[in-house]
Amino acid sequence: MTRRLSRDAAWPLALAAWGVLAIVLVFAQSGVWTTALVTIGFVLIAPGAALLGLSGIRDGAAMLATSIGASVGLALLIPSLLVYAHAWSPKGALLILVGLTETACALWLVRSRGWRRGA
Amino acid sequence: MSSTTHLRPLELLTARASASRLDGATWASLSLLLFASAYFITSLADVNLDAMTDIGLASVLPPRMLAAYALLPPAFCLALRSGRTWLVLAAVVITVMLLFGVAVLVEPTVRFSVSWRHAGIAQVIQSTGAVDPRIDAYFNWPGFFVLTAFLADVSGYANPIEIARWTPLVLELLYLPALLTIGKALTDDSRMLWGGVWLFYVSNWIGQDYFSPQGLAFLLYLCTLAVLLRWFQYDSRRSSRIPETLATLQSRLLSMASRLVGSKADLAPSAPPTSAGQRITLVLVVVLLFVAVVGTHQLTPIALLLSVTSLVLVRRCALRGLPALLAILLGTWLVYMSVAYLSGHASDVTGKIGAVNQNVGSNVSGRVKGSDGHLAVVYLRVAVTLVFWTLAMMGGLRRFRLGFVDRALVALAMAPFPLLLLQSYGGEVLLRVALFAMPFMALLAAALFFPTLAKGRSRGTLVIFGLVATFLLAGFVVTRYGNERMDYLSPREVAGVEALYRIAPPGSVLVAASNAVPWRYTGYANYKYKRLTGINRVKYQVVVVPADESTSIDIGTASSRLIVQQVAARMVAPNRSQRSYLIISRSQKADLDMFGPWRRNSLQHVEDVLRRSDRFQIVFDNGDATIFRLADPTSQPQ
């Protein structure tokens, strides 16, 4: 059971760690190339992957495609809402995306533990 | 007999392949991929961009790089024969990197002048935090620009142009999961799936994957269709709640189809089971994607609406209310968010609705012009597209004769064509239609070679597929990078534009001979931008300067004085506090040489004339870019 739980936990933990790393790099103002690679990669994949993972959708390429679509959609919508609300804040938008990802990953972990216990 | 009984899932093939040891085809494919990558990497330094001719990048690619490209089709075919998914995936990814990465790797700057303009729009948002739709049309569909401003800012860049360089390669790789999902939802045959994906890439010369709203919108278009095809298949057991008229239209269309094809079955691999919660999540993702695409690009949401509607009509999408919802979202955006643009351009948007001849004509005749080298590229583009579409049609017919009616595939391949009825879209609507239809045309084209699991398994079929793929790939190298002499922007040109912004105070009039100049990436709204050539050709010998700035000045005169007079007149500043500068650069000369409206080397002649004139002063010159200042920017032409 422990092995299965840790395998289930790998993806949400990795996505959550990616978000934390992105925040650390952005706020520490480290090298732009590293920050760009980690942050843009995170923004384009992780929020959608976390939300889909939470809903229990796992389907290889389809999940990746949907994750990319959802992530790009969120990364486009959240900063746009801030712009139209006259509250433009790129770092604020990133914090919202990371917060969304961390929350979804936490719930994903809780759900996977619950499923295992019930199984 | 149902068509699906002919088929075995992809997993059966791959499991069988992975169970065995690496065979000859696997080793051969791996070796070819390694050789291709090695040849490609070692030949990058040998590309001499300054020697490019009017046929573009192909004219300067070294033989080793051409050899690398020649190895890709056999490598892919052997990978396909091996049946190993990881190897086929590797072959596709390496193909994408070699085909779409070449310009990124050999050119030290961001290619394509429009990318620089797009970066400038994003930079306005990044620096002001606001969207002003009065600046120009782009600000009425700001999604892409807000996203890139956001990404540049959090990455620590002051200008989004810094993240623009790798866009084509990144976007093409991001398209891959969606293409695979679409393919897997439309066929159980792995060879048709991968063959279609590979044909999509080697045929995608259209080049809309640069730093642009349409490149991103195409990704959203593919992702939306991937979600719908994968998870929202029509379930005939559910009770119908659609409006009666739509239901009638659906059943008439389907009964017509069944009369045509008898009892032949549609091919639709079953959707994975999903819970109610998962379906709600996926519907929300679809709505999110559509909102994103509506706020990003003018044309893509309409193409998506057509595609989704066609899926509903052929009963391949269970979300039957989705077209209505998408139409409402689209209408809402047009009415509320893009009113600033539409109020001044309503006739531009609606003026050519239904004028299909005019729309297609402007797309074809408007592009078949230019230098001999460029014309050769244009003719090859037309030929490759026609061959590609013919392969798709033959593939669809072959499947039909074998008992398959790929309703969804054909519907999606045809859905973008009604866009031709709407408008010419600046002479580009045919290109966009070809792009939106391309993923589905590619699958149909692959079906010509691999129509069923039982057929097309011989070596001969793979050889023929490889030869056709080689033709398309050879065409790609010329068609995709055929404008590269103009699209390439040298570091010295970029340095020239940087100097222009250092020299010219905000509010100045900045003039270029054509659009092929890497400017407007900064100071987008702080300068008055003009050109010497416009979309309207000169129709008369000019004595007075055309007042209409969309008309090219006429340099078909022997009189240097008249040339100076016309250039100076185009540069006139509205008031005394403003200065006026003209930048002439390498890529502008290439643009005018290749596309006109002037004769070859005319811009060099203009530059020589201006250098001799006392009305102009050279304030910067580095060989690839020269900046002239008009001595008295407010004086009218003599």
- State pLDDT tens for residues B577-594: 788 999 999 999 999 998
Of the ranges A44-48, B269-273, B556-560, which is most confident? Answer: A44-48
Q: Half-sphere exposure of residue A2, counting CA atoms within 13 Å on the CB side? A: 0
Shortest Cα–Cα distance, B214 to chain A (Å): 14
- Which pLDDT does position B253 carry in this prediction? 66
The residue of chain A nearest to residue B230, with distances taken between CA atoms, is: A62
Partners of B180 on chain A (C-beta within 8 Å) are 61, 65
Q: Do B154 and A90 touch (CB under 8 A)?
A: yes
Question: If residue B628 lies in a helix (H) or strand (E), which one and from where to where?
Answer: strand B625-630
3-state DSSP call for residue B531? strand
- Which pLDDT does position B539 carry in this prediction? 44
CB pairs under 8 A between A and B: 145
Count Cβ neighbours within 10 Å for each residue of A2-26 and write b for 16 or more, e otherwise: eeeeeebbebbeebbebbebbbebb
Partner residue facing B177 (CB), from A40, A68, A83: A68
pLDDT-based confidence at residue B237 (cuts at 50, 70, 90): very low
CA distance B504 to B499: 8
CA distances from B585 to B76, B234, B487, B516, B628 (A): 42, 56, 12, 9, 11
3-state DSSP call for residue B366? coil
CA distance B120 to B343: 24
Q: What is the average per-residue pLDDT within B51-55?
A: 93
DSSP symbols for B370-437: S-HHHHHHHHHHHHHHHHHHHHHHHHHHHHHHTTB--HHHHHHHHTTGGGGGT--TTTTHHHHHHHHH
Q: What is the pLDDT of residues B340-354, one digit of tens each?
A: 677 666 666 666 666
Contacts (Cβ under 8 Å, ≥6 apart) of A31 = none
Q: What is the average per-residue pLDDT within B7-36?
A: 70
- Contact between residue B115 and residue B167 where contact means Cβ atoms under 8 Å apart: yes
Partners of A28 on chain B (C-beta within 8 Å) are none
CA distance B325 to B231: 18
Partner residue facing A77 (CB), from B153, B277, B292: B292
CA distance A73 to A97: 11
Contacts (Cβ under 8 Å, ≥6 apart) of A26 = A35, A39, A91, A94, B154, B155, B156
CA distance B371 to B596: 8
ipTM of the complex: 0.92
Shortest Cα–Cα distance, A1 to chain B (Å): 25
Q: What is the pLDDT of residues B122-157, one digit of tens each?
A: 999 999 999 888 888 888 899 999 999 999 999 999
- Contact between residue B72 and residue B94 where contact means Cβ atoms under 8 Å apart: yes
- B-contacting residues in A 18-77 (Cβ below 8 Å): 26, 29, 32, 35-36, 39-40, 43-44, 48, 51-52, 55-57, 59, 61-62, 64-66, 68-70, 72-77
Q: What is the average per-residue pLDDT within B1-17?
A: 44
- Contact between residue B514 and residue B535 where contact means Cβ atoms under 8 Å apart: no
pLDDT-based confidence at residue B418 (cuts at 50, 70, 90): very high
Shortest Cα–Cα distance, B209 to chain A (Å): 16
- Which pLDDT does position B86 carry in this prediction? 94
Average pLDDT, chain B: 85
Beta strands in B57-168 (DSSP E): none
pLDDT-based confidence at residue A118 (cuts at 50, 70, 90): very low
What phi and psi, each to the nearest 5 degrees, are found at residue B287? -65, -45
The residue of chain A nearest to residue B274, with distances taken between CA atoms, is: A57
Q: Half-sphere exposure of residue B365, counting CA atoms within 13 Å on the CB side? A: 6
Q: Do A36 and B231 touch (CB under 8 A)?
A: no
Is residue B27 predicted with pLDDT exceeding 60? yes
Q: Do A39 and B180 touch (CB under 8 A)?
A: no
Is residue B404 predicted with pLDDT exceeding 90? no
pLDDT-based confidence at residue B248 (cuts at 50, 70, 90): low
Partner residue facing B150 (CB), from A35, A69, A93: A93
CA distance B403 to B263: 9
pLDDT-based confidence at residue B379 (cuts at 50, 70, 90): very high
- Which pLDDT does position B523 carry in this prediction? 87
Partners of A43 on chain B (C-beta within 8 Å) are 151, 154
Of the ranges B328-332, B353-357, B428-432, B492-496, which is most confident? Answer: B492-496
Neighbours of B543 (CB within 10 A): 11
CA distance B342 to B333: 11
pLDDT-based confidence at residue B456 (cuts at 50, 70, 90): confident
- Which pLDDT does position B538 carry in this prediction? 47
Partners of A21 on chain B (C-beta within 8 Å) are none
Partners of A77 on chain B (C-beta within 8 Å) are 288, 291-292
C-alpha angle B148-B151-B155 in degrees, rounded to nearest 5: 140
Q: What is the pLDDT of residues B263-321, one digit of tens each?
A: 455 555 667 777 888 899 999 999 999 999 999 998 999 999 999 999 999 888 888 89
The residue of chain B nearest to residue A33, with distances taken between CA atoms, is: B155
B interface test, pick of A76, A77, A100, A108 with most B CB neighbours within 10 Å: A76
Question: If residue B325 lies in a helix (H) or strand (E), which one and from where to where?
Answer: helix B322-332
Which amino acid type is present at position B156?
G
- Contact between residue B190 and residue B232 where contact means Cβ atoms under 8 Å apart: no
The residue of chain A nearest to residue B176, with distances taken between CA atoms, is: A65
pLDDT-based confidence at residue A59 (cuts at 50, 70, 90): confident
Is residue B554 predicted with pLDDT exceeding 70? no
Q: Which of B638, A26, B314, B609 is nearest to B628 (CA)?
A: B609
Identify the weakest region by mean pLDDT among A21-25, B13-17, B54-58, B66-70: B13-17
| Cis-peptide, bond into residue B63, ω within 30° of zero | no
Is residue B550 predicted with pLDDT exceeding 90? no
- Which pLDDT does position A58 carry in this prediction? 80
Is residue B87 predicted with pLDDT exceeding 80? yes
pLDDT-based confidence at residue B262 (cuts at 50, 70, 90): very low
Identify the weakest region by mean pLDDT among B198-212, B215-229, B389-403, B602-616: B602-616
DSSP symbols for B444-512: HHHHHH-SSSSSS-SHHHHHHHHHHHHHHHHHHHHHHTTTHHHH---HHHHHHHHHHHHHSPTT-EEEE
CA distance B153 to B164: 13
